[in-house]
Amino acid sequence: MKLNKTVILDGFALNPGDLDWTDFESLIPKCEIYDFTPQELILERSKNADALITNKTPLNAENLSKLPKLKYIGVLATGYNIIDVEAAKKRGIVVTNIPSYSTNSVAQTVFAHLLNITTQVGYHARQVREGRWTRNRDFCFWDKPLIEIHGLTMGIIGLGHIGMAVAEIARSFGMKVIAETSRKQEELPEFVRKVNREELFRESDVLSIHCPLNHDTRNLVNAERLSLMKPSTILINTSRGPIIDEEALAKALNEEKIYAAGLDVLSSEPPKENNPLLTAKNCYITPHYAWATEAARKRLMDIAVKNFKAFLEGKAMNDVTIST
């Protein structure tokens, strides 16, 4: 298929300067690249495009109806809820996503949070910088609990690529692994025990979330389910922020109903200043960067180029409109 113009609406997150767009630019005569596109400029920048590449810039049904030339949308992420896929499909627009590019990086961040919470590396490193070890009378010191994860139970919600990677790493640390999954027990590795949702919340010492955001999973972690958890439980979310009821989690943390939370995602990003989790007790938040290692972003770029090239050759891959 011959196209004339591609517009990359918000390329900065994928490529803040350490990658390049050469392979994209080689596929089409004209390629416009924007670091960010505010809502009010979406139509102006997109109006003559045959193809749009977007990460988080939304394309709703109203916008799509005003873009008659548009034939392709490439989403620079696995999740594609920013696109009205049904509207795109009705207009014959192909929408592709990028599956499985960040599996290892996200799993790594899960354990970065877990190890930070259980061994308090960041906190104690700051105490050393502030001179507390220098002034200490003994050869060592610590003033926060240090927790060994060997033998603890890792609970996982969702056993896709990332969930399974987390399960494998947990096993290597000597943790027991339980999971809520649609798979049958006989389809799981022998070290993973399938449980129902209530058992998962009751039995987990660490609970890691790896399910997609949809109608069924929004506020899945709510006050009722938090009340099932042990006071020693650590909750980790590297999936999607709205899966957690943030008011309920902040209350559970502040009242010591659960021990700690490690979060890489929030319901609104960047977060609003009044988000209760920003000041909640034992809540450790990173700025949605689990996906963003250089290795993962290179894979994302490579797959995005392959998606676009395949579309131009008439054999679209990772087309999410097919299953819609």
- Please give the domain boundaries of the chain with CATH numbers for all domains: 5-101+294-312 (3.40.50.720), 103-285 (3.40.50.720)
User: Among residues 187, 206, 307, 313, which one has the least CA distance to residue 261?
Assistant: 206
Whole-number CA gyration radius for the chain: 22
Known catalytic residue at 288: yes
User: Among residues 306, 315, 324, 265, which one has the least CA distance to residue 80?
Assistant: 324
Known catalytic residue at 215: no
Six-digit token string for 99: 């599956």
Known catalytic residue at 299: no
3-state class of 274 per DSSP?
A: coil
3-state class of 8 per DSSP?
A: strand
Amino acid at 291: W
Which residue is catalytic, options 240, 246, 297, 299?
240
- Using one digit for the tens of pLDDT, what is the confidence trace for 67-118? 999 999 999 999 898 999 999 999 999 999 999 999 999 999 999 999 999 9
How many of the other CB atoms lie within 10 Å of CB of 187?
A: 11
- Using one digit for the tens of pLDDT, what is the confidence trace for 7-44? 999 999 999 999 999 998 999 999 999 999 999 999 99
User: Distance (Å, rounded) from C-alpha 312 to C-alpha 213?
Assistant: 31
Look up tokens 């548009």; give the residue: 70
Which residue is catalytic, options 210, 225, 288, 297?
288
pLDDT value of residue 1: 76
CB-based contact 55:13 (threshold 8 Å): yes
281-287: average pLDDT: 98
Which residue is catalytic, options 148, 198, 255, 269?
269
pLDDT value of residue 324: 55
CB-based contact 46:324 (threshold 8 Å): no
pTM: 0.92
